[in-house]
Homo-oligomer: A and B are copies of this chain.
Amino acid sequence: MTRVAAETTDLPTLLCDVAAEVIAEKGFGGFSLREVARRAGVSHAAPGHHFGDLPGLLTELAIQGMQRLHVEMAEASQGVDDPAERLTAMGQAYVRVATAHPARAELAWRNDVIDTDDPRYLEAGQSAYGVLHAVIEAVAEAYNPSLPVNDAAALAWSSMQGIVVLRSKLAWMGEGDPSTASDDLNQAMEALVARLTPLMINGMAGVPSAPSAATRSEPTG
């Protein structure tokens, strides 16, 4: 009857958009396939017809989230020469995607409800990681050729993802006011990323060949 969005788009993409909207609105509790169908103006079994089952739809959203992460990080890194600035731009792009598409970005890491063996999911994830890895390699080349690139890349991605998860708890951490509007929170997070990146870059630039600050537990040299 009253389909909510443009009639031109096909039903699967419409269902994805509606699902992301519902999740962003009410979280994963209160989300249901039937409500998605209701908002899209189709029968309750229509989603099942296109995506098989609930994990099928959520996996599709997760793939889209990972792909978006990939393309926006890649775009953000283009045209920025300095490796440190490029890492900052990518981190900000990551945060921006996570706030602009919360459902898709969160689902990308919800191993318990998606099919992590889907080849499209794997490919999107590895592509995204490839972009980050390239930037860290540039950082290593510019600042410290002996930098353990894999470790540094893991640190960078972990930090970005951690910031997104801890976003609502930044008030605990003296990083702004809890009552800030979402636009301000977004800006505050991009600013935080901009301040955190040099902290990481400094660590990557100055890492001694034999770390002495903490106990080493890596046996192989």
Contacts and interface: CB of A to CB of B under 8 A. Distances in A.
Interface stretch (A13-21, A71-79, A105-113): A105-113
A173 B159 contact: no
Interface string A171-211: 01111000000000000001110111111111111111001
Contacts of A204: 199, 202-203
Nearest to A86: B214
28 contacts: A27-B113, A28-B113, A88-B214, A88-B215, A116-B168, A152-B199, A153-B173, A154-B163, A154-B170, A155-B159, A155-B200, A157-B173, A158-B161, A158-B166, A191-B217, A195-B211, A195-B217, A198-B207, A198-B211, A198-B213, A199-B200, A199-B203, A200-B203, A201-B208, A202-B202, A202-B206, A202-B208, A212-B217
Closest 5 CB pairs of A and B: A27-B112, A203-B203, A158-B162, A206-B214, A162-B162
Interface residues of A, number: 69
A126 interface: yes
Interface of A: 26-29, 54-55, 84-85, 87-88, 109, 111-113, 116, 125-126, 129, 133, 143, 148, 150-155, 157-163, 165-166, 168-170, 172-175, 190-192, 194-208, 211-218
